[in-house]
Structure formats: C-alpha cells, structure tokens
Amino acid sequence: MMRSLYAAVSGLRVHQTKMDVIGNNIANVNTVGFKGSTVTFKEVFSQTVKGAGSPTDGKGGTNPQQIGLGVGMGSISVNHSKGSTQRTDNPTDLMIDGNGFFVVTNDANAQNKFYTRAGNFNVDRNGNLVTTEGYKVLDTDMKPVQINKSDTKEATETDQLLIQGNVNSGDEDYTTTVDVYDSLGGVHTIDVNFIGDAVPIEFDPALLPDSTDDPKYSAVVPIPDGYYAGGANQDYFLKRVSITNDLATNLNDGVGARTDLATFAAAEDVYALFNEDGQVVDYVQVPTDPTAGTPATMTSFSGTLTLNLEGADDLDLDINRKMFFQDGLETKSRTFTQYSQETDAKTVAFDGNSAGSINSFNISSKGEVVGVYTNGERETLAVITLADFDNPAGLEKIGSNMFIDTNNSGTPKYGQPSTGSFGALNPGALEMSNVDLSKQFTEMITTQRGFQANSRVISTSDEILQELVNLKR
C-alpha cells in the first residue's frame, strides 16, 4: 500500500515539473530567440517479487513478477528549431536563417564567450554592437564589432578616367564632363569632346601583326582576334576625341611636353578607333588628317594630363586606351561603342574621392558591417561571426536568451554567415520564440489530468489505509 502512495507522489512531482516547463514556455511565447523545452518521463526502479523461471521438461518457464516504484524525470530537452520571422526594419536587428549562434562577450579580452539566437542588438555610445544586456557582439577576429562614428576617409586622387556608353558616328560635336579629385579632395572638371564625323579607313596590311606574339602587336594598334594581317575585313572608323581642362598645362606622351592640350589634340589628331561592329579598339595617334578609305598608319597613344594646382599635389591623369575598358584591356570589358543609336556617352572618374566621415552603416546577409561615408565610399568595418555545435541541445541556458557550451555540446566551430554550414543573416528582422501555443495547451491538459490521476491514487490509497485502521474496531 505504501508503494502506491510513493509512486503517486513521484507522479505528482514530475507532472508539477512538466507544468513548470510548460508555464515557462508559454511565458516566453513572445521572447526574441527563445527556444522552448520538452519534458519526458521515465520509469524508476521496480521491486522484483518473483524472479523468472527457466523451462523444464515438464513445465514451461515463468516470467518475473515486478512492482513499479513510480516515475522519474527522463529529460528536459531544448528544442532548437527555428522560430518565426518578424520584420522590424531596424538595421541592428539580425536574424539567423539557418544554423549558428551569435557570439557575445562581457569582458575586454573576449575570454568569456556566450551564444545567443536573439539578434535584437543596439549600438552603445562607443559604437559597439551590443545585446540588450550590454554584451558585445564579436567579429570573425573575436573582436567586438564597432562602428566608429568619428572615422574619416582621406581624400584620394583621381588618376584614371573611364568613358562609357555610345557615341553616334554622325554626331559632330558632343561633350561630356567629369569631376576629378586632387590630393586634398578638391573637385575639378574635365571636358571630353567628341569632334567631327567618324572617318572610315583601312589598315595597311603591312603594319598589322600576324598574332599577339608578333613584335608589331605592341608597336601598332592591338587588333583583336580575327583582324590580323590577311583577315577578310580590315575596315575601321576613327572618331576624334579631345580632353581639356583650364588648369591643364602639359600632356606628356613620352616624347615631349605639350603646353596646350586642346591645340595638341587638334594638331596631332588623337582618335578613338572602332571596328566595323561599332566596338572600341584603341585610342590612337594619326600623323595627318585621315582620309576616308585610305590606308592609315597610326600608333596607340598613351600620355599624362597634368593639372597644376596651388596648395595640393599636381593631379596627373592617365590618357590612354584604358579609358575605354572597365577591367584592364580585356575585350569583354569594353565600355564604349559607336552604334547608330542615340549618343549617351559619359565620362566617370575610375577612382578618387573627397574626404568623408561615416554617415550610416548596414549589415549584409554575410555578416559584413559596411560603413557608408559622406563622400559615397563604402568600407567593410567588421564581419560578424557565428558559432555552431555538433549537439546544440547540449548547450546550457544561463538566462537573458544566452547559452554556454558544455561537455556534451561539443567544441564550438566559428565561421562567417552564409558559408559552410552557417546560416545567412536576415537584417531588419528578428527570430521570435519557437513555442507552439496549441501544442503547449495540449500538453497542459494532459499534464493536468496526469496530476489529477496521481492525486486520486493518493486519496484512494489513503481510504484503503483508513479501512485497515478501522479493522480493529
């Protein structure tokens, strides 16, 4: 009789514990990054009344006779499935879409590491990305992620122009302008002028290289594949291009300095060279005015346009065929054409910028914290790291939506979001609790009934004991 009492008491205790877990799950149904827990029970020791008997020639074997002594707690397991997504559009709110935990610390040397799925971060007065408890978020170098609002970008000089778009062969006078920067970040305007009609010409076959290995390839216009000597078609077009600026004092083409760029461009005849498909080939120098249809002798032009400035370093701009190619001299990276469509050519500064300070920042799906400066430049300030474990269920909760590793969680492995097994970040969103209310209420009902049933066993056992006591009357 006492066994039933103690078994029922153990049932009350484990059902009370399960109700505690359910209550905590429901209490955190709206907690950011919360992971609900699940309770399982197990049978405790059984008292053996009679052992098992082996079969004999005349009789069969007998099974053991045992009386259970109650129930115990089997496990309280954390469910690490992903919670629902809630959009916030706050740039410091981050959600991990996949595996991984944010790594945070509360000491200067990041010796104490904690792990969390809650990405509701803020920026403190020092620019550190922190949790609501002030724990600093770590980057891939295990350093605190910091956005230094006092950071500035030095001014950088422009040294290369890039001409993009299309110029119609029939447009006689078209000018595009571009702003370039000196060593102090000062802005200066360069004019790129397209002058006169396009002139159709033919190359002298004797001047064309047989291949890219031919020594003449570097001495004359580098003709692309299919246009070497003996090619079926050697028709090209020239369009005069003049580059001017009021402060320009010389253009050094390797032969001498020209004191007037505009006069130089007109006298020496510097042209953009196009093939019959309307694609730019080179920036060339023609000794005399080209005549339509006549063979042309020309060389690639390369010079330096110098702007003499007061209070800043002289600004040197490279003037050569690289102005027409986005990436080196690969034909696939051409940026300039001569089609029959509308002229829309423009010139941009390939590099150079004024000085600037951080204006804002954003975080990419790869964890890159990108600072946006007032001069338009962008720079990756840090890369947020993630941690993953072989057994996330082995992590230990320590409150404030944080975990620590244990002997059964495995050693943390660190990496960048969107790489390997690590999930991508979803900026401007939060991972909410993964608690399923319908399931929790169902568990609550079964737990309540289990508790009631065990309390009824205690009441019934008490009544039987009472009857035993009354036998003496």
Please identify every stretch of the chain with a pLDDT value under 70, giving residue numbers as ranges.
1, 203-234, 247-268, 287-288, 293-297, 327-333, 473
Tokens of 389: 């474990």
What is the percentage of the chain residues whose pLDDT exceeds 90? 40
State the pLDDT at residue 208.
55
Q: Give CA 290 to chain center in angstroms.
A: 52
Q: Give CA 373 to chain center in angstroms.
A: 18
Tokens of 92: 């410091």
CB-based contact 423:96 (threshold 8 Å): yes
Tokens of 382: 């840090």
Is this prediction's pTM over 0.95?
no
Q: Kindly report the three-state secondary structure assignment for every residue of 234-284.
A: CEEEEEEEEEECCCEEEEECCCCEECCHHHHHHHHCEEEEEECCCEEEEEE
Q: What is the pLDDT of residues 375-426, one digit of tens each?
A: 778 889 999 999 999 999 999 999 999 999 999 999 999 999 999 989 999 9
Nearest to 80 by CA among 418, 435, 334: 435
Q: Give CA 158 to chain center in angstroms.
A: 29
Three-state SS at 123: strand
Nearest to 90 by CA among 357, 363, 358, 359: 363
Q: Report domain extents, the chain.
A: 2-49+67-78+434-470, 85-148+361-431, 161-349
